[in-house]
Amino acid sequence: MKTADFDYTLPPDLIAQQPLPDRDAARMLVLDRASGGIRHQQFTAFPQHLQAGEVLVLNDTKVIPARLIGHKPTGGEVELLLVEELSTFRWLALARPAKRLREGMEIVFAGNPQSEPLRALVEAKHDGGEVIVRFTGVDDLFAALQRVGHVPLPPYIRHGEDAPADRERYQTIFARQPGAVAAPTAGLHFTPRTFEALAQRGVLVHRLALHVGPGTFKPVASEDIEQHVMHIERFDIPPDTAAAVNAAKRDGRRVICVGTTTVRALEAVADTEGQVRAGAGETDIFIYPPYRFRIADALLTNFHLPRSTLLMLVSALAGREPVLRAYAEAVRQRYRFYSYGDCMLIV
């Protein structure tokens, strides 16, 4: 298939720049895969679509303040976006401007005068602005990032520097495992009353972690989608989640995924019999039509960028034409798009 097959027109004013005052106040477009029918609801109706014994899987990765602004010894400003933890204190990062960095150079990131600055040594440079840095002088890197780092908001959110509210709202309420540089945005709508409603219905809620990387925002540049190379992301699937998913598939109960990242993690470890294995690993799985899903029976997701791998994954699950019709309807109904926007439930 061609990348252009997954294009659509979106008025810029429909790109949500701020979250709604209440997390669960989002609208929810419900797309029925069997009939192609569309319904318009509020996210608060989401639990009503699930039944007792069905398994809901969440991504509990935690967004870190991965955007760092520091200075070279000469005083020149450097910006780093942390991409992947390679080992303790060593990270792969995207640097800007990278061409003026050299191996052995130290970059200093200062938060406020009362706190100790964070320092990073450039160990290696790669093509495309990638560098490997080693942080020094701190015992707890994640605590230091909280002091000096910034929330890595997506490039289409243009309300300026990250605000204190972004640290709360660009994070799910169930985030546990630090490591993501982008939020699993379908989970941003959940509130304590969402989980209360799910529990009352007897829905089994389980978690995994897939640490979302910056490649999630990268449009597919190649004309043929098969030529696109996916970014690698780390995941960890707990034994109880694997057992619950495997039992549900064996018994014919649905597995509902919250977010495309959850789908990618589960499908990456599924065998030909539709069973998943627990454990940690990495995946660059690229899901696009006509992919045959082994695990995901339903999906809650936000609205995605044109020509993106996420839109292709959604189209693989529900069909390209039904999804594009649903997106056109969402535009007509003036849904809010992307990370801080509304959501879509595919059943």
The answer, yes or no, to whether the previous bond of 238 is cis (omega within 30 of 0) is: no
For each of the domains in the chain, give its residue range(s) and CATH number, in order of start: 3-63+169-346 (3.40.1780.10), 67-150 (2.40.10.240)
- Structure confidence by residue, pLDDT tens digits, 7-59: 999 999 999 999 999 999 999 999 999 999 999 999 999 999 999 999 999 99
- 8 Å CB contact between 70 and 109: yes
- 8 Å CB contact between 10 and 176: no
Q: Output the pLDDT for position 90.
A: 94
Q: Output the pLDDT for position 166.
A: 92
- 8 Å CB contact between 238 and 205: no
Q: Output the pLDDT for position 214.
A: 78
Put residue 215 in one of left, alpha, beta given phi > 0 → left and psi -120 to 50 → alpha.
alpha
Q: Output the pLDDT for position 113.
A: 61
Q: Which of 310, 295, 308 is nearest to 344 (CA)?
A: 310
Strand, coil or helix: 84: strand
pLDDT under 50: residue ranges of the chain: none
Residue whose entry in the numeric block shows the structure tokens 């995924």: 257
Q: Which of 291, 346, 343, 297 is nearest to 322 (CA)?
A: 346
Q: Which of 193, 242, 194, 278 is nearest to 57 (CA)?
A: 242
Q: Output the pLDDT for position 284.
A: 93
